[in-house]
């Protein structure tokens, strides 16, 4: 875990929040202006307020604005889910992507869509939640087996193995169905362009519910860091807190996968960065994770557009390239002797 720093208080939190919001607004502006075609900011605002039916207006309103909104919501959901997982398990390597949660959600969504022709977001998002829960149980079952019980490194290795298996199932389902392969080709590796803008509406209630559950779990996480026995002595209902946190992680990760497919490392990177300047208070960790998660995802998406012009790299690949070295460094710090 990141070393403790005294948490900024009062006015410092206000300035830190304003700085994060300013960065987020800048990235949102860049997201709707940059790409294979540069659109000046003044034209962007004109097309948003007074659409004229032109091709450029269509690019702004139908492609780049929904893409930016996908990045905002999925980035916040994944970062908060990662912070919750790290707090609940006291595992510095916890992340919805690394521990198989997003891969499980992907299997549930893709298999139900291709095998049973489930096309309604309201229907297939539930299969995403079921897949996320099943993958989480499988990873923790494998990671807790053997001598020494559950350790961060064992969970990470179990998650990598289960994620690889589940991703192979997703690929198999897409290869069998040629039409699905065309529809989900980018979404399956994690992209902000894989789903229509209409997907946002049905997913928003789930994201809101997950955010409320996460916010109400934060005080309990602060108590759990002292140890379960002390938490119980202080009147904390440990089982209920863990259940509430697990449901929040499942809902947030499943909804993010429904929007953008499986994207790993956002939930790993962001909470560690946040913890470095907030300290261990999960109320602030979750708040700043919700602000900086979208920053990471939008910055990676913008980079993927610019690096491979006139084509683009899916955001999932860019985030993985950023997060993999950080993950290796954390594993080395945690120590493979735990295995």
Report the residue count for the chain: 339
pLDDT at residue 336 is higher than 90: no
Question: Six-digit token pair at 221?
Answer: 């996480």
pLDDT band at 148 (very low <50, low <70, confident <90, very high): low
Q: How many helices (H) and strands (E) does the chain have?
A: 14, 0
pLDDT band at 69 (very low <50, low <70, confident <90, very high): very high
Q: What is the mean pLDDT of residues 197-207?
A: 91
**109 within 8 A of 128, measured Cβ to Cβ:** yes
pLDDT at residue 167 is higher than 90: no
Q: What is the mean pLDDT of residues 242-268?
A: 92
Write down the pLDDT at residue 321.
Answer: 93
Q: Alpha carbon 48 to chain centroid distance? A: 28
Q: Using CA atoms, how far apart are residues 56 and 49, in angstroms rounded to an integer? A: 14
Q: Look at residues 100, 114, 56 and name the one whose alpha carbon lies nearest to residue 249.
A: 100
**105 within 8 A of 257, measured Cβ to Cβ:** yes
Phi and psi at 126, nearest 5°, equal: -65, -35
Q: Is residue 60 part of a domain?
A: no
**125 within 8 A of 65, measured Cβ to Cβ:** no
Write down the pLDDT at residue 112.
Answer: 81
- Compute CA distances 41 → 26, 34, 192, 197, 198, whole Å: 11, 10, 21, 22, 25
Which residue reads 């789930």 in tokens? Answer: 206
Tell me the CA end-to-end span of the chain in Å, nearest whole number. Answer: 18
Q: How many domains are there within the chain?
A: 1
Which residue has better confidence, 31 or 149? Answer: 31
Q: What is the mean pLDDT of residues 86-107?
A: 89
pLDDT at residue 144 is higher than 70: yes
Q: Using CA atoms, how far apart are residues 166 and 88, in angstroms rounded to an integer? A: 24
Q: Is residue 11 part of a domain?
A: no
Q: Model confidence over 218-243: pLDDT tens digits?
A: 988 988 887 777 878 877 787 888 88
- The domain of 80 spans 70-338
Which residue has better confidence, 2 or 307? Answer: 307
Write down the pLDDT at residue 7.
Answer: 47
Q: Is residue 61 part of a domain?
A: no
Write down the pLDDT at residue 310.
Answer: 82
pLDDT at residue 67 is higher than 70: yes
Q: Is residue 22 part of a domain?
A: no
DSSP designation for 63: I
Q: What is the mean pLDDT of residues 257-279?
A: 92
Write down the pLDDT at residue 9.
Answer: 59
Least confident piece of the model among 7-16, 50-59, 82-91, 321-330: 7-16
Phi-psi region of 335 (alpha: psi -120 to 50; beta: other; left: phi over 0): left
Write down the pLDDT at residue 102.
Answer: 92
Collect all residues with Cβ–Cβ distance below 8 Å to 206 and sequence separation of at least 6.
125, 251, 254, 255
- Compute CA distances 1 → 90, 217, 225, 286, whole Å: 9, 20, 12, 15
Question: Six-digit token pair at 100?
Answer: 């198989």
Q: Is residue 42 part of a domain?
A: no
E-strand spans in 142-249? none
Write down the pLDDT at residue 76.
Answer: 98
Q: Is residue 94 part of a domain?
A: yes
Query: What is the CA angle 77-81-85, rounded to 5?
Result: 175
pLDDT band at 150 (very low <50, low <70, confident <90, very high): low
Structure pTM?
0.90
Per cent of the chain over pLDDT 90 is 42
Q: Is residue 246 part of a domain?
A: yes
Q: What is the mean pLDDT of residues 255-278?
A: 92
Q: Model confidence over 287-327: pLDDT tens digits?
A: 999 999 999 999 999 999 998 888 889 999 999 999 989 88
pLDDT at residue 4 is higher than 70: no
Question: Six-digit token pair at 259?
Answer: 């929007």
Burial class of residue 9, CB neighbours in 10 A (0-12, 13-18, 19+) = exposed
- Compute CA distances 193 → 115, 177, 241, 305, whole Å: 23, 20, 35, 12
Write down the pLDDT at residue 334.
Answer: 64
Write down the pLDDT at residue 88.
Answer: 87
Q: Is residue 188 part of a domain?
A: yes
Write down the pLDDT at residue 123.
Answer: 77
Q: What is the mean pLDDT of the chain?
A: 86
Write down the pLDDT at residue 233.
Answer: 80
Burial class of residue 283, CB neighbours in 10 A (0-12, 13-18, 19+) = middle
pLDDT band at 330 (very low <50, low <70, confident <90, very high): confident
What CATH number is given to the structural domain containing 93?
1.10.3470.10
Q: Which helix (H) or strand (E) holds 243?
A: helix 238-260
Q: Using CA atoms, how far apart are residues 245 and 247, in angstroms rounded to an integer? A: 5
Write down the pLDDT at residue 55.
Answer: 82
């Amino acid at each position: 875990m990141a070393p403790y720093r005294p948490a900024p208080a009062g006015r410092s939190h206000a300035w830190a929040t304003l700085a994060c919001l300013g960065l987020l607004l800048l990235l949102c502006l860049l997201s709707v202006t940059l790409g294979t075609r540069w659109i000046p900011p003044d034209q962007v605002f004109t097309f948003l307020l007074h659409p004229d039916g032109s091709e450029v207006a269509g690019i702004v309103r139908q492609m780049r604005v929904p893409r930016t909104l996908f990045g905002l919501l999925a980035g916040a959901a994944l970062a908060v889910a990662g912070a919750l997982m790290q707090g609940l398990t006291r595992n510095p390597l916890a992340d919805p992507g690394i521990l198989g949660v997003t891969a499980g959600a992907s299997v549930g969504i893709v298999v139900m869509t291709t095998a049973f022709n489930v096309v309604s977001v309201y229907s297939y998002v539930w299969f995403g939640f079921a897949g996320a829960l099943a993958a989480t149980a499988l990873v923790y079952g494998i990671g807790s087996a053997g001598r020494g019980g559950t350790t961060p490194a064992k969970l990470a290795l179990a998650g990598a193995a289960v994620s690889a298996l589940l991703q192979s199932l997703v690929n198999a389902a897409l290869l069998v169905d040629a039409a699905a392969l065309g529809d989900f080709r980018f979404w399956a590796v994690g992209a902000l362009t894989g789903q229509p803008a209409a997907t946002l509406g049905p997913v928003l209630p789930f994201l809101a519910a997950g955010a409320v559950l996460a916010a109400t779990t934060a005080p309990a996480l602060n108590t759990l860091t002292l140890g379960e026995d002390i938490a119980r002595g202080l009147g904390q209902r440990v089982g209920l807190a863990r259940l509430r946190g697990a449901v929040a992680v499942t809902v947030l990760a499943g909804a993010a996968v429904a929007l953008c497919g499986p994207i790993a490392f956002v939930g790993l990177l962001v909470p560690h960065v946040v913890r470095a300047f907030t300290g261990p208070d999960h109320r602030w960790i979750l708040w700043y994770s919700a602000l900086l998660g979208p920053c990471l995802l939008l910055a990676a998406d913008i980079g993927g557009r610019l690096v491979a012009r006139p084509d683009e790299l899916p955001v999932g690949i860019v985030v993985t390239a950023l997060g993999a070295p950080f993950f290796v460094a954390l594993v080395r710090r945690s120590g493979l002797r735990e295995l």
